[in-house]
Amino acid sequence: MSIPGALKRWVIRVILGIAGMWIAGIIVFGMLPVPFSAVMMERQISAWLHGDFGYVAHSDWVGMDEISPWMGLAVIAAEDQKFPEHWGFDMAAIQKAVAHNERNENRIRGASTLSQQTAKNLFLWDGRSWVRKGLEAGLTVGIETVWSKRRILTVYLNIAEFGDGIFGVEAAARRYFNKPASQLSASQAALLAAVLPNPLRFKADAPSGYVRSRQAWILRQMRQLGGEEFMVQHDLH
């Protein structure tokens, strides 16, 4: 059955309009603070649909010079140790994840870089689908082309979800440690990074044994990367 011409033109306009908004977003957010992300919107709409009108998803934006260098190092150590080197995709990690997932269908492992996670959190939706992964790949190329690594890390830390209704490292630092993000210690940064794989399940204010062991692993990785010198060497702070 063929699609009517009017409907086809409407679909094309919608697709081009969304693509245009994404391109504009990449350009604008390469310079200006991000007021909200797609994940924040998704959480906000879900709260309203469940009758929770007191829920407000937002981020208290801070620049990279207002974030402890330990925090940037912690998320790199935890999520993407090749972040300064790759162009958005860690092919070796992807190959390992594919091999692992073929052997363990019930324990799926991801291989998303910080760049991919930033693209997904900012512009897309939660869930696993080839459509979303394809869009994520295109958006990742876009932000890697337009933004610096420092900018990608800044946006990531400001829109990452660290708990129910807690978005961005500034909100997380004040909520869990009663201090600004600039004053986070290495241990505190590692604890926040430890909950990132599933911030609605793992709790920074009531860490499980698994979260504590992951925190300790992240701290070891931070030391192996070279500590704060790593951030200076790669111009990430």
* CA-wise closest residue to 199 among 171, 165, 237: 165
SS3 50: coil
pTM for the full predicted model: 0.89
Confidence of residue 108 (pLDDT cuts 50, 70, 90): very low
Q: Is 102 or 173 the better-scoring residue by pLDDT? A: 173
26 shares its domain with 42? no
Q: Is 97 or 169 the better-scoring residue by pLDDT? A: 169
20 shares its domain with 41? no
134 shares its domain with 217? yes
108 shares its domain with 2? no
**Calpha distance 60→160 (Å, rounded):** 11
72 shares its domain with 12? no
Rounded (10°) angle between helices 114-123 and 5-28? 120
3 shares its domain with 47? no
172 shares its domain with 131? yes
* CA-wise closest residue to 225 among 107, 29, 80, 55: 80
Q: For position 119, what pLDDT does the model report?
A: 95
Note the pLDDT tens digit of each residue in 208-218: 999 999 999 99
25 shares its domain with 76? no
The answer, yes or no, to whether residue 93 has pLDDT greater than 60, is: yes
Domain CATH code at residue 49? 1.10.3810.10
20 shares its domain with 101? no
The answer, yes or no, to whether residue 85 has pLDDT greater than 80, is: yes
Confidence of residue 2 (pLDDT cuts 50, 70, 90): low
Q: For position 104, what pLDDT does the model report?
A: 54
- Please count the structural domains in the chain: 2
Rounded (10°) angle between helices 69-79 and 114-123? 100
Q: Which helix (H) or strand (E) holds 162?
A: strand 161-163
CA angle 27, 155, 55 (to 5 degrees): 110
Mean pLDDT in residue range 216-221: 97
Q: For position 3, what pLDDT does the model report?
A: 61
Q: For position 181, what pLDDT does the model report?
A: 97
217 shares its domain with 229? yes
- Which residue range(s) make up the domain with 18? 1-32
* Residue 59 phi, psi dihedral angles, 5° rounding: -125, 140
Whether 159 and 122 have beta carbons less than 8 Å apart is answered as: yes
Q: For position 100, what pLDDT does the model report?
A: 46
Note the pLDDT tens digit of each residue in 20-76: 888 888 999 999 999 989 999 999 999 899 888 888 888 899 999 999 999 999 999
168 shares its domain with 190? yes
**Calpha distance 212→235 (Å, rounded):** 30
91 shares its domain with 131? yes
